[in-house]
Amino acid sequence: MAGGCAAGESTQRDGIAMTYLSSKHPAVPYGETRRRGVPAARYPAHSDAPRLYGPGVSQSLAALYRQLRAEHGVVAPVLLEGDIPAWLVLGYREARFVASRGELFDRDSARWNAWDLVPPGWPLLPAVGKADSVMWVSGAEHARRSGAIHDVLTEVDLFELRSRCARIADELVDRFADTGEAELMYQYAHVLPARAIAGILGIPAHETAAVVLDLVRILDQGPDALDAHGRISALLARLVAQRRAAPGRDVISRLVAHPAALSDEEAIQDIFVLVGAGQQPTAYWIGNTLRLLLSDDRFATTLAGGRRSVGQAMAEVLWEDPPVANFTGRWAVRSTQLGGQRIQAGDMLVLGVAAANVDPTIRPDACVGSAGNQAHLAFGHGEHRCPVPAEELAEAIAETAVEVLLDRLPDITLAIPAHHLVWTPAVWVRGLAALPTTFTAV
């Protein structure tokens, strides 16, 4: 289990907060995000495409999705950072089709026909560059790697994990319970899953805060993303070497000893996936759930019931505000048609998870709710969907975090109106930049 936070954790956490809070921008109208100059002969549909990045875009993503759907249908041309052309898959059926048809849309970014347009130090390189991880390999190789991950995560005791998370949650709440106020994203939601996952993997507690900060930099796709990626890789390389020499009872030890016989590089890459895919999305699942519980009257009257309303809120978040909002990427194996658009061989496709979840062709009345319906795309689909044991671990961490907080601070409320809350600037994830709250000091 991860022990107490390092002495420098408060400073590191403040650094995380400043990374996001300094990125706030006023909303920019949809039309003002357009540009011209994309090579028209190569990408005729993208010469007037909207940017899927930039000031204010993350604050109005729902409006952007509606506009794109109205103008282009279920597949729309967009520009990524640096005005690099890609296709955003907005349709639910189309997203499932792309994710499950590797023979048409695979994970090999070497096929990309826009590599010559990518500038040096491009912040999205960690998300699209070919890497030797379970997220990128396919077929038998993917089965070998994902099978090992499934096996080692299955061995994690969920009851023990929930108990550990409850202890961490109590410790974190103790730090601000007597103040009557807390900013829950960086004092709570980001820290708790990081420490829980660190304990599962065997990452030393004193290095957890720095890992969290670097994960934020990577997922924010800012100028420090590549350096952050390198620092985490170096840490994991050291831990893999240590566990081969002196194995313990943690996930890293079990993974390097698994019959799949992962090489050091394979183990490093796959553990990186576990860290990145586990910590930040879980933190945003916690934050988005708390936002819903504290701002929606449908839940406010049932908070005293505890477990049932928390579970409902968590399930609704996966449909309406999934922590991973857009996912890169798939590349067209050959020229084809998708959603009425002509996709060229080598084109990049971005899976619009949040947009697909609210596709009006499958959810004509989103107000009806989604209780009991788990057909959302929050955990992906197809060969590369999130392993079931990983989903269960994330749910255990998030649910425990929310429940303990509400039990300890039953009268907690938002410190500002819900519509004043600011989303993180990165469109790839859906999470709050800050969640300020007030409560009776205890």
Buried b (16+ CB within 10 A) or exposed e, 209-232: bbbbbbbbbbbbbbebbbebbebb
**135 phi and psi angles, rounded to 5 deg:** -70, -20
Give backbone dihedrals phi and psi of 73, rounded to 5 degrees, phi first: 90, -145
Convert the pLDDT of each residue in 353-387 to its tens digit.
999 999 999 887 655 555 567 789 898 887 878 88
How many residues in the chain? 442
Cβ-contact 108, 130 below 8 angstroms: yes
| Residues 116-156: tens digit of each pLDDT | 999 988 888 878 876 678 888 888 998 999 999 999 999 99
Q: Are 99 and 239 in contact (CB under 8 A)?
A: no
Domain boundaries, the chain: 9-438
Place of tokens 């819903």: 292
Q: How many CB atoms lie within 10 A of CB 234?
A: 11
Residue 377, token pair as written in the block: 């795309």
Question: Please, are residues 52 and 350 in contact by the beta-carbon 8 Å criterion?
Answer: yes
% residues pLDDT > 90 (the chain):
59
pLDDT at 151: 97
Cα separation, 247 vs 202, whole angstroms: 10
- Render pLDDT for 278-323 as a digit per residue (tens, 0 to 9): 888 999 999 999 999 999 888 865 555 544 589 999 999 999 999 9
Backbone angles phi, psi at 108, to 5 degrees: -85, 100
Beta-bridge partners for 88: 76, 350
Assign domain 9-438 to its CATH superfamily: Cytochrome P450 (1.10.630.10)
Do 221 and 171 form a contact (C-beta atoms < 8 A)? no
Cβ partners under 8 Å of residue 168, min gap 6: 2, 192, 195, 196
pLDDT at position 144 is 95
